């Protein structure tokens, strides 16, 4: 059994993860409306990953005898001024999620909740990858700027991304 405080914070993380999925679906819709289907694909895969992350927290809470309480998901931004704005927003959002995961780890350590700490370590590693990917994408977008050929090249690259479910034994 986990503490009430930990259960509340993990439930809040579920909402954050589902919001992340919602945000990335909004970005997918934006790119689809711009006929940048590769970028749309990238964010569709990103949304799928975030839904899986939410469900990993959902399953964990149930596994340790807690109670899942779903929170309200806010509407995401739907209009964007540029490709660079979307990529910068993605990086900022991933950094926000990383801080949230770190706060959960800190709470697990404070409460000497070793099983939750062990569960969260997968997310610590995952967030390092998410931030690196977001930084890399932002850098590439900055390099090409508004050059249509460069954007189309990046769009083709983004189209190659394939969804891979997480290989977390705690899922």
Residue 22 within any structural domain of the chain: yes
Residue 87 within any structural domain of the chain: yes
* CATH number of the domain within which 24 lies: 1.20.1260.10
Residue 146 within any structural domain of the chain: yes
Q: Going along 6-53, which residue ranges are E strands? A: none
| Contact present, 46 and 29 (Cβ < 8 Å) | no
Quick one: average pLDDT of 79-83? 95
Residue 164 within any structural domain of the chain: no
Residue 166 has what pLDDT? 84
Residue 141 within any structural domain of the chain: yes
Residue 167 pLDDT greater than 90, yes or no? no
Residue 170 within any structural domain of the chain: no
Band of pLDDT at residue 1, cut at 50, 70 and 90: confident
Query: What is the count of structural domains for the chain?
Result: 1
Range of the domain at 131: 4-158
Residue 91 has what pLDDT? 98
Residue 11 has what pLDDT? 98
Cα–Cα distances (Å) from 19 to 47, 77, 107, 138, in that order, read 9, 11, 22, 21
| Contact present, 128 and 105 (Cβ < 8 Å) | no
Residue 24 within any structural domain of the chain: yes
Band of pLDDT at residue 165, cut at 50, 70 and 90: confident
Which DSSP symbol is given to 166? -
Residue-wise pLDDT tens digits, 21-68: 999 999 999 999 999 999 999 999 999 999 999 999 999 999 999 999
Residue 168 has what pLDDT? 58
Residue 168 within any structural domain of the chain: no
Residue-wise pLDDT tens digits, 118-129: 999 999 999 999
Residue 171 pLDDT greater than 60, yes or no? no
Mean pLDDT rounded to a whole number for the chain: 96
Alpha helices by DSSP H, listed for 68-113, are: 83-110
> pTM higher than 0.85, yes or no?
yes
Residue 170 has what pLDDT? 55
């Amino acid at each position: 059994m986990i503490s009430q405080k930990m259960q509340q914070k993990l439930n809040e993380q579920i909402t954050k993860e589902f919001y992340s999925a919602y945000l990335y679906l909004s970005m997918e819709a934006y790119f689809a409306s711009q006929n940048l289907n590769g970028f749309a694909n990238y964010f569709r895969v990103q949304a799928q990953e975030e839904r899986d992350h939410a469900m990993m927290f959902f399953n964990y809470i149930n596994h340790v005898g807690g109670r899942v309480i779903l929170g309200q998901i806010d509407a995401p931004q739907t209009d964007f001024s540029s490709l660079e704005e979307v990529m910068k927003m993605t990086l900022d959002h991933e950094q926000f999620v990383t801080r949230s995961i770190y706060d959960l780890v800190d709470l697990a350590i404070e409460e000497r909740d070793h099983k939750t700490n062990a569960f969260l370590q997968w997310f610590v590693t995952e967030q390092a990858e998410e931030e690196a990917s977001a930084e890399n994408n932002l850098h590439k977008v900055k390099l090409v700027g508004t050059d249509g050929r460069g954007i189309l090249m990046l769009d083709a690259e983004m189209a190659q991304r394939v969804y891979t479910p997480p290989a977390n034994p705690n899922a």
